[in-house]
Structure 1
Amino acid sequence: MSTPDATDDAVRELLLVMPRVVGRIKRMPLPEQLRSLDLAPRHLSMLSLLLLDGPLTVSQLAGMLGVAPTTVSLLVSDLSRKGVLVRREDDADRRRRIVDISPESRPAIAQWLSPGAHAWRHALAPLSAAQRRLFVDTLLRYEEAFAAPEGE
């Protein structure tokens, strides 16, 4: 078990590194093709999933993003109108739609998002599966604590 001083030392280190990381992420240049699209963080998450996992259904995206399918449908419609995403029928079930990054947009999106995925792979590769899970769970707890009203 760590002592309060050891925990405080880790907190100090993280309070120094996090602004640098966020600053670097914010300075990542958006490819010219994507600049006029008014992309928000919610778009980034969905595009990252599609880039990493390939074509997915609206329901799959909703589950992975932790939002309602109607929310994903709205995002998909918005990005489809802008030519960033394409929708097609699922050959196995014609009622379902498969969503993917358009061939025209894929190179720009990969250029934009791949450095982040590469950095995560580099950081996580030396860790065991249990250590990776602990790291992800710790970030999730941090996000939850940061979002909670003060005093909770």
Structure 2
Amino acid sequence: MSTSVDDAIRTLLLLMPRLIGRAKRKPPPPELAGFNLAPRHLSLLAYLLFEGGLGVNELASRLEVAPATVSLMVGDLSRQGILLRREDEADRRRTIVSIAPEHHAAIDGWLGRGAAAWRAALSPLTPEQRRLFVDTLLAYERAAEDL
């Protein structure tokens, strides 16, 4: 592959729609099909899957949204039985959110494959190369927002 900027753009213009299309076609597993899961829930579920239980403010910070937005999502998913809320033993004012054990395997099977693909793609890179890759995607996102 050529290394010119235009050649890289051509490749990415073909690749990005394929990646997005593949992600959109990945339906929830049958165990979760009856739930009202929207795309906005995927990042929240992914964080809880890979980080374990987190507080609402931690989730809001990681998702880059307001705590009220996370509270609404958590409330919705809790009512459906997908998430559990429990009091933090160390700070009773804080609520810890986690995936309900009966849905953990289904969510892991659904979202875990994407993480495995990212791991396979990123593992051969040096830490500096991984940082450059992530920074490049973030820069693209910012540039696309400005259009």
Supply the AA of the counterpart residue of 1:99: V
| Distance (whole Å) between structure 1 residues aligned to residue 17 and residue 82 of structure 2 | 30
- TM-score (normalised: structure 1): 0.91
| Distance (whole Å) between structure 2 residues aligned to residue 71 and residue 82 of structure 1 | 17
| Distance (whole Å) between structure 2 residues aligned to residue 61 and residue 12 of structure 1 | 36
| Distance (whole Å) between structure 1 residues aligned to residue 73 and residue 62 of structure 2 | 14
> Counterpart in 1 of 2:32?
34
* Candidates 126, 129, 132, aligned match of 1:128: 126
> Counterpart in 1 of 2:140?
142
Tell me by how many angstroms 1:120 deviates: 0.4
**Percent identity over the alignment?**
60
* Candidates 3, 7, 12, aligned match of 1:9: 7
Tell me by how many angstroms 1:137 deviates: 0.8
1:50-61 counterparts in 2 under 5 A? 50-61=48-59
> Counterpart in 2 of 1:18?
16
| Distance (whole Å) between structure 1 residues aligned to residue 19 and residue 131 of structure 2 | 21
SS in 1 for 2:65: coil
SS in 1 for 2:133: helix
Gaps of 5+ in 2: none
> Counterpart in 2 of 1:100?
98
Tell me by how many angstroms 1:112 deviates: 0.6
- TM-score (normalised: structure 2): 0.94
| Distance (whole Å) between structure 2 residues aligned to residue 56 and residue 46 of structure 1 | 10
Tell me by how many angstroms 1:34 deviates: 1.4
Tell me by how many angstroms 1:40 deviates: 1.6
Tell me by how many angstroms 1:130 deviates: 1.0
Count of equivalent residues: 145
The root-mean-square deviation of aligned C-alpha atoms, in Å, is 1.2
1:47-86 counterparts in 2 under 5 A? 47-86=45-84
SS in 2 for 1:60: helix
| Distance (whole Å) between structure 2 residues aligned to residue 35 and residue 138 of structure 1 | 34
| Distance (whole Å) between structure 1 residues aligned to residue 36 and residue 25 of structure 2 | 16
Gaps of 5+ in 1: none
